[in-house]
Structures are given as C-alpha cells and as structure tokens.
Structure 1
Amino acid sequence: MSENSRTSKFHKAWLMMAVGCLCMALLTMMGGMASFLIQPITSELGFQRGAFTLYIGIQGIISGFTMPIWGKYLPKIGIKPMVSISSVVCGIAMALYSQCTTLTGFYIIAVFVGGFLPGCTILPASVVVNNWFVKRKGFALGITMGFGSIAAAIMNPIIASITPTLGWQKIYLILGTTILIVGILITLFIQDHPSKAGLSPYGAEEIGSTQTKPQEVLTGVTYKNAIKSIPFWLVTIGIVLGMIGITGVNAHIPAFLSGIGLAASAGFLMSVFSLSGFGARILVGSLNDYFGIRVATIATLTIASIGLVMFTFIKGFPFAAAALIVFSVGVPINTLIPPLMVTEIFGKKYFSEIYSLIGGISNLAFGFAAPFYGFGFDLTGAYTIPMYLGAAMCIATMFLMLTAVKLGSKLRKSDESPEPSANSIG
C-alpha cells in the first residue's frame, strides 16, 4: 500500500461505494418508478394490470439471461466499457417507452432494457463493493444496495405529483435522459479493483488479510464446481422464491394503497417504505458484519413474512405505515443478501461469474414476480391470497439459505483438496 493511502483518512473505497450507489439509482429509475405508472397507463390505454405488468416481467426475464453473460465477459471487456454501453442503450430505450401505445411496443422495448440493465446497475455495484472492501463489507454493501431506496424516496413523491400534469409519456422521457447523464458520471469514476490503483481493499491491513498486497491472490470455489454443488442450487431456489414473494409486491403497493382508500397518501407512504428499505439494508448489512450471514438471513425473511401478513389487515394510514416499515426489512433479499451469500459460500475468486449466474436466474424469477401479484389480483379481486403465499415463500427461502450456508463450509474445504466435492450434483 502506498504511503499516501496509509496516512490519508479517506480511502478510495468509499468513493467506489458512492459510484455503486449511482448504479443502484439507475436500477430504481428503470424498475422502481414503474409502480406509479401502472394506473395511469392501464387506464388511458385500456390494458389489464396483469398483462401490462408483464413488460416489467420481460425486463426481468431478459436481464436474467444476459446477467451471466455480462458477468462472464466483464474481465475481458472491462467495467468502464460495460457501464458506458449499457447505460446508453437503457437510457434511449426508457425514453422510447414514451412512444408506446400497444402492449407489444412495451414488450419489445423491455427486451432492450432488460438485456443491458445488468451491465450498469447491480452487477458493477456488487463487484466494486466486493473487491474494494474487506472490513465493513456488509455495511458498505447495505448502503450501496439501499441507495436505490433513497433515490426512490426522493423520486416517488415527485413522480406521483407531476405524472397527472405532465403525463406518463414525459415521465419516461425524463427518466431516459437522467439515466444517460448518470451513466456518464459512473463511467468517469468507476474502477473495479483497488490493485489497479496501487491500493489494498479497505480494512485489509487491520484484519491481517493477505489482501494487503496490491497484487491480490483471491481464493474460492471454482465456477465449475460451484454450479454443480447443492449449496448453489439451494441459494438459487431460495432467492427465486424470495424474489417472487417480496419483490413482486413492490410494484403493486401504490395500486394496493389506492384500493383501500389511501390513494392521496400513496406517494408519502412509498417514500416511507423507500427510506425504511435503506435503513433495513444498513441494518441487515451490519448484522452480517457482526453476527454473520445466518442471523442476517433469519432477520430479513422472518420480519418480511410478518410484514406481508400485516398488509392483509390494513385499515388506515397508521397501520399502513407500520406494515410498510416492517415489510421493508425484507427488501435486502434481492440485492444485499445474494452477494453476501455468494462470498460466504463460494469465496471471492470467481465472484462475478457465480454471482452473475445466480443473479441472472433470480432476475428470471423477477420476470414472474410482479405478474404473480397482478394475475392474483385479477383472479381474486384482491391481493390477500398472493400476500399469504408470499409470506410462505419467505419462510421457505430462509430454510433453503440456512441449509446452503451449512453445506457451504464443507464445499469450500473439499474444493481446496484434489478429491471431488461431497456436495456436488452428478
């Protein structure tokens, strides 16, 4: 480590965390704002909610296919070109949503957004924080993954207030332009590994890590062995269920609140939810740092399931706010828990390849998440039954992930030896 980095109170890792935060803000713009556009678009164009929210699903499905590809070729093409190309395509595509008048149009553009979305959002954000931090990684990852909630808290009331005046078409134009500008800022500052700047990861020396050398030697389960292992598929299935159960309801919360007579408060309540989600990510990240991934996982999924059940009993504003705050603890399941789980079980050496595959599969699940609640509403006339099913998915996810962590310690040891893994499939 250079003398400057030893004596300086500021470590560049925190700047990289800020860059990762901008990546997550892009994710919010491409996905989180859709919840406020469901009602005006379906009303104006005469779409069924389930059919319309399939465009959100298509974004998730396509990003599920492309995220492993981005992860595989990231070391070859470099993180700056990846972010630059992806953000330009996504910005233009988001602006083109403003010209859609048919479901087919929304579906086609969703293919382009979904195809390039991973390259400028969650993948670079996760890789940067994972590489730049040893100490307080959970805390840093919590802030990074939670920044989308801060962006949502700022943008939700703005979007809610200006959409009736400007119309949903101009909202898409504004979002597309903003994505292009933020993408340029990310490209200018992002750097995927401290060794390229002659630095060590934050906190490496304090914990006596071998990562104090600029030329860091990483260890971990090989990609080939990981994808054949039982822990890999337990984690993947768990994240899929958690993605559907927790993330799927997010897009429907404004419509749900409107349906129970809280339309006027929906924007404010969504801001409360977003800010709570940010705090939840910091909380869960800190739980991981101090108590380990098991405690963080149990807390996240148990409290989220309670929040989903609370939704079914909402009668007024105070209880709605309380339910949203409780449910927000489950938000880290789709962005924070997966990278921490991958590092815990498989190590850092093949992180981008393994994480991008798990993330890709979970994004496929995201493609069915919003429609799951949308079609559930269309079939039953309410969100009650889908929410109970979502709570059950949370509990199932918890048991799958805890089992994966237990088996993962054996997998790491066996992969370091010449013998075949005892936890391998086939």
Structure 2
Amino acid sequence: METNRRGGLFYGWVIVFAGCLIMASVMGIVYNCFSQFIKPVCADLGFTRQAMSFNQTLISLIQVAVGFVWGGILSRVRVKPLMLFWAVVGPAAFFCYSFANNIWLFYVISAVMSLTMSMLTLLPLSYMISNWFVEKKGLATGICFMGSGIGGMVLNPLLQRWLDQFGWRMSFRILAAIMAVCAIPCVLMMVERPEKKGLRALGADKLPQTEGTAAEAEGETMAHARGTVRYWVLATSVLLISAGCSSLVMTLSPHLTDSGYSAAFAAGMVSVSMGAMAVGKMLLGWLYDVLGSKRASLLSVLCGFLGLLGMIFCRVTPALGLIILGVGLGCAFGTVGPPIVVMNVFGKRDYSAIVGVFISFGNIGGAIAPTVNGTVYDLAGSYTPGYAAWAVALGLVLFCFTIFLPSGRKDK
C-alpha cells in the first residue's frame, strides 16, 4: 500500500477498510440478512409475508428520497458527526425489532434503518473516498463497497444458526450488537478530508499545482448538469442496470428450482454468486483505474447482459457460468459504478448532490424490479420473459454508454 509523505500507511486506506467494515455490518445486515427474518416472524406473529416484505421496500423508497436531498444535507452538516449519530441510532433501532409485536412498529423501525443506511453507507463513503483519492479511486471504491457482500456471506449462515438456536428476537439483538461494535469505532476513525491530517489526496502530488489547488472548482454545477441530455440518459441507465442486475440476484434461487435444479444446488449457486459479487466489486474498481470509466462500465454492463442470457438458457450447464459472471461483475456496477462515473463525467464541484441523485435512481431500479418480475411470473408462469426484457434494456444501456460516456483512461 502507498505511504504518505511522513511515512507509514496512507490514511486513506484506513478510511477504505473502515468503510468496508461499515458496509459489512450495516448494509450486509440490513440488506442481505433481513429476508431470513420474514418466515419466523410471520409464523410467530401471524403477519403475511407480503406485509413483512414491505419493510424492505420501505427501506429502498426512503433511501431514494434521501439521495435526492443529499447535496443539501452536506451543505448544512459535517459528515463525520452525522455518521456518528446514525452509528449509534441504527444499532439501537435494529435492537428494537426484537420487541416489535405489530407490523406498524416494524415499519417505523425500518424507516429509521433506511435513514441509517443512507447516512452510513454509499452516500457518505463515496464522498469520503472522493476526498481522499485522486489515483486508485476505483480500487478504493471497490474494496470499500465489497463489504456488503462479505457481510452477507459471513453473517447469513451464522444468522440461520442463531435463528434455529435462539429464535428471531434474540437474533435481532445479536446482529444489533455486531452492528454497534463494528460501526461506531469505524466511524470514529473517519476523517473527512486529508488536509485535516496534514496530508493530500493520493495522487494529488502528481497534479499540476494549479489543478491540485483548484480541484474543488472543477466540474459542472447541479443546475447545469440537470439541463443536459447526458445527465438524464446516464441516470436512467443506472436505473435500468440496477433493475436488470438485481433481478439476477432476487430470482436466482426460485428460477433455478423452477428450471429443474434441486433446492440445494440453487442455494449453492446463490452462495457462489454472492462471493463472486464481493470479489467483483473490488475487481471492477481496479478495472476502472486500469481501463477508465467508459470501458470498465461497458464491460460491467456486458457481463450483466450475459448473466441475463445465462438465466434464460440456464438448463444448459455452461450458462451457469454466465450467471456467476453476471452477478459478479454486472451487479457490482450498482455500488461501484455511479460514484466513479459521476466524478468522471460531471467533476467534483457538485459531486455529492449529483451522485446522490444517481444512487437514488439505482435504488428506484432495485425497488421496481421485484414488482415487475413478480408480475411477469404471475402472467407468464416464468421469469424468462422478464429476463429477456431486462437484457434488451441493458443492450440499450450499452448503446447509451458508448455515446455519452467520455473516452480516456483518466478520471477527473
């Protein structure tokens, strides 16, 4: 790893690894583990699965709203105190799930958890990384955001064991404790800007002096960006990528069992795919540094497209490899791609406001995908027509990226 000018590990990497642990303990728990609670909670309290599943939809919808106002939040509040507040409130709220006896209390707690996710994960961590890295920004982003996949991989099998041994209420408490123990110390290690430690962003020394000192002024304002076709095309593309690639993950297990594979095999494919996605985030981040935003984005979307084709032809054994590729590098775009693309295309002047909107568009895609896929299945008796439609959408995204993403290896 790189060292700073005073010797030792460059502190930006501490920010990255702390962010990775936050992603694992917050997003890894709330996004990747919550579904395991649906069956035992419904069996105990008599909720319908649809009512309990709405918690996840609510979390996504509130995150969409926060993303649209993220730039305004940053203009009024410092990031680290904001993160620390939610690092305390979030685990406490998650602990309160264990006392819930009616569905409306679950919804209230889920609203708080959605705000916790917004204030602790993608939005603030993207902002931190943009401040600390000029070089190797892609690798830093990939390593940081792979934490959500690692958290899901490690905690899901443990959670299943805890649910069997201790029940769902105690399992909520255990996860809340893990969240607090990981998130609070990691937030305390965060430093908003390298200048506060007497450092410069990694790679800033290689910029011309005028470029380095004027970095804050580079790029487009939010008002100007919103008036361009490129802004809306790229934001819509992020929505379509999120919807199409999340469909791979959401429907993988039921589609494989519908196609004649055993439940055990389907579970194994899900596990392998989750591992591939964790590794894929780091790999995609590195590819952004090596290939540049345009080629790395095209490669990621192409992998998502191939993954959807793999789902369509999953009865043919080689197609299973395409599915793993699609989940690994295709789904990685959802978290790794938008921060880097926004920086490359629109610059740093209103980076936080613009990236917040792009992440919200991605959350919209993730929120509508279950409804679309479920409707397609109810009408056709199969997810396959939906995969075909998402593949066409990703083909359109490939065309749009070819036109609207700037060429060149270096990000702004």
Q: TM-score, normalised by structure 1?
A: 0.84
* Whole-angstrom CA distance in 1 between matches of 2:316 and 2:114: 37
* Distance in 1 (alpha carbons) for counterparts of 2:209 and 2:100: 53
* Alignment partner, residue 421 of structure 1: none
Which structure 2 segments of 5+ residues have no match? none
Equivalent residues, number = 405
- Check whether the contact 1:50–1:378 (CA below 8 A) recurs between aligned residues: no
| CA 1:322–1:228: 2 relative to 1, 3 Å | closer
Aligned residue in 2 for 1:231: 230
Structure 2 counterpart of 1:79: 79
Distance 2:256 2:92 in 1: 32
Which residue does the alignment assign to 2:289? 289
Aligned position for 2:59: 59
> Which structure 2 residues correspond to residues 320-331 of structure 1 after superposition, within 5 A?
320=320, 323-331=323-331
Q: Is this contact kept in 2: 1:79–1:124, CA < 8 A? A: yes
Higher mean Cα deviation, 189-198 or 264-273?
A: 264-273
Q: Distance in 1 between matches of 2:352 and 2:304?
A: 28
Q: Which residue of 2 aligns with 1:165?
A: 165
Map of 1:20 onto structure 2: 19
5+ residue gaps, structure 1, are 413-426
Q: Is the 8 A contact 1:231 1:404 kept in 2?
A: yes
TM-score (norm 2): 0.86
In structure 1, distance between residues paired with 2:204 and 2:321 = 41
Tell me the residue number matched to 1:181. 181
1:145-156 matched pairs, under 5 angstroms? 145-156=145-156
Counterparts in 2 of 1:43-58, with a 5 A limit?
A: 52-58=52-58
1:401-416 aligned within 5 A = 401-406=401-406
Counterpart AA for 1:189: M
Cα 1:319–1:153, aligned 2, differ >3 Å: closer, same or farther?
A: farther
AA of the residue aligned to 1:288: Y
Q: Pick which of 69-78 and 299-308 moved more.
A: 69-78
* Residue identity in the other structure for 1:141: T
Answer whether contact 1:301 1:398 (CA < 8 A) is retained: yes
Cα shift readout 1:99-133 (whole Å, capped 9, x = no counterpart)? 44555444333222223321111112111111111
CA RMSD of aligned residues (A): 3.1
Q: Distance in 2 between matches of 1:139 and 1:310?
A: 28
Q: CA deviation at 1:53?
A: 3.0
8 Å Cα contact 1:343/1:351 also seen in 2:
yes
Query: Deviation string for 1:181-211 (max 9, x for gaps)?
Result: 2221122111121122221111222455656
Asked if the contact 1:23/1:124 (under 8 Å) is kept, the reply is: no
Question: Residue 283 of structure 1 aligns to a residue in which SS?
Answer: helix
Change (3 A) 1:172 1:161: same
Deviations 1:272-295 (A, max 9, x none): 222211221222222221221111
Q: Is the 8 Å Cα contact of residues 284 and 296 (structure 2) preserved in structure 1?
A: yes
2 CA distance for matches of 1:39 and 1:255? 16
Tell me, in whole angstroms, the C-alpha distance in 2 between the residues paired with 1:24 and 1:211.
32
Superposed, 1:22-421 pairs within 5 Å as 22-25=21-24, 26-41=26-41, 52-100=52-100, 103-206=103-206, 208=208, 210=210, 217-256=216-255, 261-265=261-265, 268-315=268-315, 320=320, 323-406=323-406
CA–CA separation in structure 2 for the residues paired with 1:375 and 1:43 = 25
Residues 401, 56 of structure 1: CA spacing in aligned structure 2 closer, same or farther, 3 A cutoff?
farther
- Among all aligned residue pairs of Structure 1 and Structure 2, give the percentage whose two residues are the same amino acid: 25
Letter in 2 for 1:240: L
Q: 3-state DSSP class of the match of 1:191?
A: coil
Partners of 2:100 and 2:361 lie apart in 1 by 28
Match for 1:73: what amino acid? I
- Looking at structure 2, the residues matched to 378 and 110 of structure 1 have their Cα atoms a distance apart, in angstroms, of 28
Is residue 249–residue 369 contact of structure 1 (8 Å, CA) maintained in 2?
A: no
Q: Distance in 2 between matches of 1:155 and 1:78?
A: 31
Q: 1:11-55, CA deviations, whole angstroms, 9 ceiling, x for partnerless residues?
A: 111111112212322212111113434455556666665554332
Cα 1:88–1:391, aligned 2, differ >3 Å: closer, same or farther? farther
Shift of 1:263: 3.3
Pick closer, same or farther for the CA change 1:333–1:11 going to 2, 3 Å.
Answer: same
Q: Which moved more, 1:331-340 or 1:381-390?
A: 381-390
Q: Do the aligned partners of 1:28 and 1:152 also contact (CA within 8 Å) in 2?
A: yes
- Give the Cα separation in 2 of the matches to 1:209 and 1:262: 61
- Offset at 1:265? 5.0
Bigger mean CA deviation after superposition, 179-188 or 366-375? 366-375
Cα distance, 1:164–1:393 mapped onto 2, change above 3 Å: farther
Name the SS for the 1:32 alignment partner. coil
Match of 1:5 in 2: 4
CA distance in 1, matches of 2:332, 2:316: 26
